[in-house]
Amino acid sequence: MRALVTGGAGFIGSHLIDRLIGRGDEVVVLDNLSSGNLEFIQAHLDSGKATLVEGDITRFEDVEPAMKGIDCVFHLAANPDIRLGTRVTDTDLQQGTIATYNIVESMRLHDVKTIAFASSSVVYGEDAPLPTPENHGPCLPISLYGASKQAGEGLISSFVGTFGIQAYIFRFANIIGTRGTHGVIFDFIHKLKKDPSRLEVLGNGRQEKSYMEVGDCVDAILHVMSISDAPLNLYNLGSHDTASVRRIAEIVVETTGCHDASIEYTGGDRGWAGDIPRAMLGIEKMLSTGFDVRYNSEEAIRHTALALIEEIGLHEEMNT
């Protein structure tokens, strides 16, 4: 199969490419390298099993050349920073909504039949029952990022209904793991690297969410796609439990060895406007396909903290 991975140089995209190439697929990566890192996929580019089209998916003319001869699109490129929407109000519209239109419209013109889309738990908004099942509605997101994911889902389902493409929409929990370049664990480690004596935590630390290890996430995507064959397939992808931000701070302090760091909370029930303090996805539908995760939330957090500390060489740096 020839797969197009938008955002393939990013955190989740690069892990997905490892799996796709591992099973023998040919991969085209479409990425503008804004938050991605070529090093994550360099070995595949060097081997000739992946090719890079450097382009911006907000520009239709950049998408077109990458779509030729593609069997399946994995659409992951987007602005990864939910908080940015509190300052810049059209980023998610451009990088999420317009960009997703460019992808599905280009698929229609090139007769590409299948898309898998990286959506998010944040589409459910903050009043959803926990754990939240896929059939919860109405979905009323409270961030501009969430609105763009919901718009992307709507565009994709309308292209399924109108033009007969097949789609897999995956609503991810918080995905963490090696090569992470953003998110709470990454932020905490970098804060401690700057100042090992204190760790500032946004909010009161009681925010509670589920965390899924990135290898589990990409394995779940490919497993579900091999089992489920409806025209439109909607799945939550997450783990069995949650972890609080307070617990994450404690684990990061412990794993970095910054035992004397004082953990200081900025207060308030959420990290920033538009943040959802408590989220947990119902994963019964994912489990019913026969797939289960290897890591629970806390195991994934510990594994990620250790991996990111190693990746940025924190211990070596602190000992010099």
Among the listed residues 145, 168, 211, 235, the single catalytic one is: 145
Concatenating the DSSP letter of every residue in 78-137 gives: S---GGGGGT-SSHHIIIIIIHHHHHHHHHHHHT--EEEEEEEGGGG-SSS-SSBPTT--
Pairing of strands 208-209, 278-279: parallel
| Type of residue numbered 166 | Q
Among 172, 188, 235, 291, binds ligand NAD (CB under 6 A): 172
| Cα dihedral across residues 141, 143, 147, 153: positive or negative | negative
**Choices 27-35, 184-192, 272-280, 291-299 (CB under 6 A): range interacting with ligand NAD:** 27-35
Kindly tell me which residue out of 18, 19, 26, 35 binds ligand NAD, with binding defined by CB under 6 A.
Answer: 35
The only residue of 80, 131, 203, 238 in contact with ligand NAD, by rule CB under 6 A:
80
Whole-Å CA distances, 227 to 142, 165, 220, 234, 290: 33, 17, 11, 13, 9
Q: Is 13 an interacting residue with respect to ligand NAD (CB under 6 A)?
A: yes
Member of 31, 208, 219, 275 binding ligand NAD (CB under 6 A) = 31
Contact between 11 and ligand NAD (CB under 6 A)?
A: yes
Q: Rule CB under 6 A: choose which of 50, 57, 115, 293 binds ligand NAD.
A: 57
Residues that contact ligand NAD, how many (by CB under 6 A): 27
Under the criterion CB under 6 A, does residue 177 sit at the interface with ligand NAD? no
Which of 1, 2, 22, 33 is close enough to bind ligand NAD by CB under 6 A?
33
Cβ nearer to ligand NAD, comparing 177 with 258: 177
Strand (E) or helix (H) holding 315: helix 314-318
Tell which one of 3, 4, 5, 10 touches ligand NAD (CB under 6 A). 10
- CA geometry: angle at 29 spanning 28 and 30, to 5°? 120
What is the distance between the alpha carbons of residues 227 and 209, in angstroms, rounded to a whole number? Answer: 28
C-alpha dihedral (141, 147, 150, 156), degrees to nearest 10: 180
Q: Is 95 in the site for ligand NAD (CB under 6 A)?
A: yes
Region binding ligand NAD by CB under 6 A among candidate stretches 107-115, 168-176, 184-192, 288-296 = 168-176
Give the DSSP H/E element, type plus range, for residue 17.
helix 11-22
Smallest distance from ligand NAD to CB 92, Å: 9
Q: Is 120 in the site for ligand NAD (CB under 6 A)?
A: yes
Residue with tokens 């994911």: 149
Closer to ligand NAD by Cβ: residue 66 or 192: 66
Cα distance between residue 98 and residue 104, in whole Å: 10
Task: Tell the smallest beta-carbon distance from residue 198 to ligand NAD (Å).
Answer: 26
Integer Cα distance of 266 and 180 in angstroms? 24
Closest CB to ligand NAD among residues 25, 92:
92
Between 166 and 181, CB nearer to ligand NAD:
181
Integer Cα distance of 282 and 310 in angstroms:
32
CA separation for the pair 113, 134 (Å, rounded): 24
Please tell me whether residue 99 binds ligand NAD under the rule CB under 6 A. Answer: yes
Binders of ligand NAD in range 136-155 (CB under 6 A): none
Q: Are strands 208-209 and 174-176 parallel, antiparallel or unpaired?
A: unpaired
**Toward ligand NAD, which CB reaches closer, 157 or 198?**
157
145 is catalytic: yes
Residues tagged active-site: 145
The site for ligand NAD (CB under 6 A) is made up of 7, 9-13, 31-36, 56-58, 76-78, 80, 95, 99, 118, 120, 172, 174-175, 181
